[in-house]
Every structure is written in C-alpha cells, then in structure tokens.
C-alpha cells in the first residue's frame, strides 16, 4: 500500500484523469495494490498517467512532465469496454509493469519478453486471473485491437502460470 497517495496523484496529468480513474474503479485499488517501492520507481522513471478518448482527443496537462518521461495513456473507450473494475486494474498494472521494469531487462529480452515481464508484474500483484480474463474478453469484444499473436502467446503463458498455481 502506498503510504503517501498524494505522490501518486502528482503523476496524473490533469483533474479529468484523476476523476476518470476514480469513476472507472481504478485509482482506489491501485493505491492499495502498489507499494512504496513501486511508487518510487514511478517517480524515478517519470511515469505519468493520462486518460484519453479515442479515436482522438486533446487534453490539458496540469503537471510538469520532464523530457523523456513515460506517459501511460488510457483510452476511455477501450477501458470502459471491460465491465469489471478488476479487469481495468489488471490492464493498468500491465502498463505500469512496462513503465517500471528496468529498461535493460526489456532490451535484453525483446518485445515478447517485455510483454511477459509486464505480465509478471501483474501476477506479482495478485491479478493473474483478472489479466487473463481481460485478454480473453478483449479478443471477444475488440478483436481488431486484442486478437494478436502477442496476446495469444500471453494467454497461453498466463494459462500455464494459472494451472501451476502461481
């Protein structure tokens, strides 16, 4: 659990993002799931969050974002397609995993390994089942976005982890 939620909130790009993450049932669970080490990595790696509305949108950024920062853009249309907040949280945790996994690890293991490393972050937070379900739902509801060989490989791997009891 993050001991100082205000530090996390400083990494949300605007009031709209704050409100939408709350109304989508994402921010409160994240504040419970993420720990101080995760928050420290978010701060050190200049990770920010922004909610956008596809297919295109503009938003005002109300925080100073240093050059080279990582911004996790959450598409409202896609996120809202997932009825359960737990699925939404799993998706956001996966993106956080991408942002805070050491860059050297991502470069060493390549793109599929980077996906697996982000999945492993989700699993470490206890959201294996929710991520697996979200991928399956995504393929069913939005095949153009989700039905990829990468996601199919992730599903197979997550299914094996689930069967092994991880």
CB-based burial of residue 139 (10 Å sphere; 0-12 exposed, 13-18 middle, 19+ buried)? middle
Angle between helix 128-141 and 103-124 (nearest 10)? 100
Q: What is the mean pLDDT of each run of 10 residues along the chain (166 residues)?
A: 81 91 94 93 93 85 91 93 95 94 60 85 96 97 94 96 85
d(CA 100, CA 102): 6
- Cα–Cα dist 78/92, whole Å: 12
In the chain, how many domains are there?
A: 1
Contacts of 68 (CB under 8 A, 6+ apart): 46
Task: Give the pLDDT confidence score for residue 4 in this predicted structure.
Answer: 77
Determine the pLDDT at residue 47: 94
What is the dihedral angle through the alpha carbons of 137, 142, 144, 147, rounded to the nearest 10 degrees? 0
Where in the sequence is the domain holding 48, given as residue range(s)? Answer: 5-163
How much of the chain is helix, strand and coil, in % rounded to 5? 65, 10, 30
């Amino acid at each position: 659990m993050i001991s100082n939620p205000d530090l996390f909130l400083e990494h949300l790009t605007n009031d709209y993002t704050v409100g939408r993450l709350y109304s989508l049932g994402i921010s409160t669970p994240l504040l419970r799931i993420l720990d101080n080490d995760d928050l420290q990595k978010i701060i050190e790696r200049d990770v920010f969050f922004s909610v956008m509305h596809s297919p295109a949108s503009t938003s005002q950024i109300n925080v100073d974002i240093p050059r080279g920062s990582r911004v996790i853009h959450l598409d409202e249309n896609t996120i809202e397609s997932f009825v359960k907040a737990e699925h939404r949280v799993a998706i956001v945790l996966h993106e956080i995993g991408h942002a805070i996994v050491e860059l050297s690890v991502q470069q060493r293991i390549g793109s599929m390994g980077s996906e697996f490393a982000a999945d492993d972050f989700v699993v470490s937070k206890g959201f294996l089942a929710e991520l697996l379900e979200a991928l399956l739902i995504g393929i069913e509801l939005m095949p153009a976005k989700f039905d990829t060989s990468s996601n199919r490989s992730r599903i197979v791997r997550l299914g094996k982890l689930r069967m092994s009891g991880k």
